[in-house]
Amino acid sequence: MTGKTASKKGASKKTAASQPAHLIDHVDAPPAPPCTLVIFGASGDLTHRLLMPALYNLVRAGSIDPGFRVIGVSRRPMSDEQFRADLTTSIKERFAETGGEFDAKTDGVSVEPGKWDFLRERIHYLAADLEDPASYADLNNLIGSLRQSSGGKDPGIGNVIFYLAIASSLFEPTINQLAASQLLKQTKNGWRRLIIEKPFGHDLASAKALDKTILKVLHEDQVFRIDHFLGKETVQNIMVLRFANGFFEPLWNRQHIDHVQITASETVGVEGRGSFYESTGALRDMVPNHMFQLLAMCAMEAPNSFSADAVRSEKAKVIQAIRQLPAREAADNTVRGRYLAGTVQGKRVKNYRDEPDVKRDSTTETYVAMKLMIDNWRWADVPFYVRTGKALATRKTEIAIRFKQVPYALFRDLPQAVQPPNELILHVQPEEGISMNFQAKVPGQQLAISGVKMNFKYSDYFEAQPNTGYETLIYDCMTGDATLFQRADNIEGGWAAVQPILDAWGKGYGAIVDYKAGSNGPTAADELLMRDGRRWRDLA
C-alpha cells in the first residue's frame, strides 16, 4: 500500500545506482507472519486463475514465510497430490498465456521449479460439504495436525485466514458454521481473519444483512472485504500522485476540473458464467465495488494519516456524498445495455441471450453508464461519468480527469482556436501508468498550437513484477493491514448510491438498449454525455 512503503516494506535491496539509468527496483517486503490460508472453493476458477499465481508471485518476491500453509476446501474428492498436480498444470498454463488479467512477465523464464516446489509442498486439500458441521470439525483437525507436524514449534500455524472464494449465497451459512465450530475464535496463540470476495450482497438490504451476520461473530478488524482493483499499482498510486506532489492537489477541485470519466471495459463476454451473470448484471457486478472504489480514491479528501481507518473513513465520506435521485431521474442519468453478436479483436462473440445458462427473454444488462454528482464542497457541480461493460472494443480501465478550458480570446485568430482540453489519465490496466494531454506551440515562424501527450509507464521506470492484483491484498491480510480493503460503511454506502437505480429499473424505468459486440457500447451512452456538451474518450 502506498502509505506504508517506507515503514512496513523496508528499503530496496538494490539501489537506483545499480540499475539501468531509467529503471528503479521494486521495494522488497519482509516475509509476512506465518499462517494457514484456508481457501473455500479451491477447485474453482478464481483459485486457479488468480489466487495461486498471486501466492506464487509472493514466493518469488520472498514475501512468504516457511511456516505458511494452504488448505484447499471443496466438495470434489481429491488427495493432496491430486490437488497439487492440478494446480501445477494450471499455473504453468497461466504463465504461458499473454494478455488477459494475468499476463506473467517472468524475466524470460517459465515457472521456476524451486519457487513453485516451495509453495507446492505447503498445499493441502480437504473434501468438504460446507453445510455439514462434520466438515468443519475435519478442517479444525487438519489445522491442528499441521501445527503438530511442525513439532509445535511454529506458533504461526495458529494464525488462520479463511478465504471465501465461493458463491455469495454460501457466505452466511459458511460464516455461521465457522463460528459454531469455534474456528473464528482468536487466542493468544493465533489470530483469525476472513477474506470475502464480492458480491457483498445484491442490494442495500442484503448488504446490511450480510454485514450484520459477519459482525455478530467477528470484529471489523478481522474482516477483509476484497476488491482486487485496489491491488493495482496505479490505483494505489492515486493517493501518492495527489498528496505527494505539490502541483496536482491545488488543481484537484471544482474550480479547475470540468468532469471525470471512469471506465472499465472488457473484451470478454460472460465466458460460461451465464447463471451467475443473470442474477448479477453489470451494475451489481462492478459499480458498488470496483467503480466506486476508483471514484473514492480519486475524489476523497486527504486522510490524516495512511492508517487503515483514516483512509477508509475518507473514502466512505465520498461514497456517502453521491447524490441519490428519485427513480425516474435516476433512470434518466443511467444507461443499461446488452451486447448483440459481433466480433471482438477478430473473435466472434455470440448474442448475450444465446450464451449458455442465459434466459432467452433476459433483461440483464452487460453494460452500464451513469452520471453521478458528489454533493460536497470540493466536487459540487462536477459530474463523474462512469461506464463498464462486456464484449467491448478494448480491455481498458482508466480514470480521466478533464480540466476546464482556458479563455479563448488570446487564441481566437489562430487557425485552430478551440484547442483539445487538458486531461490527466490514470491508466489502471492493462498497462499501468499516467499520461497528460496539454497544448504546445508547433515549431515554425507562425504561431500555431497543437495538442501533445506526455506518458509515464511503470515499466519504463520501475522493475516490472508479475502481478494479478491479489499479491498486495493477500500480503496485507497476512500482516493485518486493512487499508486497501472495504469497511462495512464503504460497502453499504455504495449500495445506497445505486439502490435508486435498481429501484427505477424495478419500476420499469430505463429500457435496456442493445450494442454490437466489439463496439464502444450503446449510442445511448454517448447521448448521456452529449446532452451536457461532452463526449466519452474513445476506447481504442
Query: If pLDDT is split at 50, 70 and 90, which confidence band does 491 have?
Result: very high
Those residues whose C-beta lies under 8 Å from the C-beta of residue 57, and which sit 6 or more positions away, are 465, 466, 467, 468, 471
Query: What integer best gives the mean pLDDT of the chain?
Result: 86
Confidence check: pLDDT of 280 > 80: yes
- Comparing 229 with 174, which gets the higher pLDDT? 174
pLDDT (0 to 100) of residue 157: 56
pLDDT confidence tier of residue 505, bands split at 50, 70 and 90: very high
- 8 Å CB contact between 224 and 193: yes
Domains along the chain with CATH numbers: 31-197 (3.40.50.720), 230-530 (3.30.360.10)
Interval 461-485 mean pLDDT? 85
Least confident of 105-119, 327-341, 466-480: 105-119
Beta strands in 42-191 (DSSP E): 69-74, 123-127, 160-164
Tell me the CA distances in angstroms from 51 to 139, 470, 472, one per residue in order. 20, 7, 11
Average pLDDT (221-226) is 94
DSSP H or E run through 238: helix 233-243
Residue 288 sits at φ, ψ, to 5 deg, of -65, -20
pLDDT of residue 448: 72
- The mean per-residue pLDDT over the stretch 181-191 comes to 90
| Mean pLDDT calculated for residue range 83-94 | 90
Which residue's entry shows cell 444483512? 209
| pLDDT for 261 | 98
Within 10 Å of residue 446's Cβ, how many Cβ atoms?
Answer: 8
pLDDT, average across residues 130-157 = 78
Instruction: Using pLDDT thresholds of 50, 70 and 90, give the confidence band for residue 19.
Output: very low
Q: What percent of the chain has pLDDT over 70?
A: 87
Tell me the pLDDT band of 411, cut-offs 50, 70 and 90.
Answer: low
**Look-up of cell digits 488462520:** 160
290 is catalytic: yes
| 192's grid cell | 483469525
pLDDT at 100: 43
Q: Which residue has the higher pLDDT, 532 or 463?
A: 532
Please indicate whether residue 236 or residue 311 has the higher confidence score (pLDDT): 311
Which residues partner with 441 through β-bridges? 449
pLDDT band at 408 (very low <50, low <70, confident <90, very high): low
Average pLDDT of the segment spanning 114-137: 94
Using 50, 70 and 90 to split pLDDT, how confident is the model at 5? very low
**Distances from the Cα of 272 to the Cα of 51, 147, 269, 340, 510, angstroms:** 20, 40, 9, 16, 27
> How much is the average pLDDT of 484-491?
92
Q: How far apart are CA 166 and CA 188, in angstroms?
A: 30
- Closest by CA to 434, choosing from 293, 227, 237, 232, is 237
225-248 pLDDT tens trace: 998 878 877 777 888 888 988 888
CB 58 within 8 A of CB 474: yes
Residue type, 422: N
Catalytic residue among 48, 259, 290, 427: 290
Of residues 332, 343, 378, the one with CA closest to residue 517 = 343
pTM for the complete prediction? 0.86
Q: How far is CA 235 from the centre of its chain?
A: 9
Residue with more model confidence, 227 or 69: 69
Average pLDDT, stretch 348-358?
94
Query: Looking at 1-15, 103-117, 452-466, which range is the least confident one?
Result: 1-15
* CA 160 to each of CA 69, 126, 172, 229, 407: distance values in angstroms, whole numbers, following the listed order: 9, 15, 19, 24, 60
Q: What is the pLDDT of residue 409?
A: 58
pLDDT tens per residue, range 244-272: 888 888 999 999 999 999 999 999 998 87
Per-residue confidence band for 18, with pLDDT thresholds at 50, 70 and 90: very low
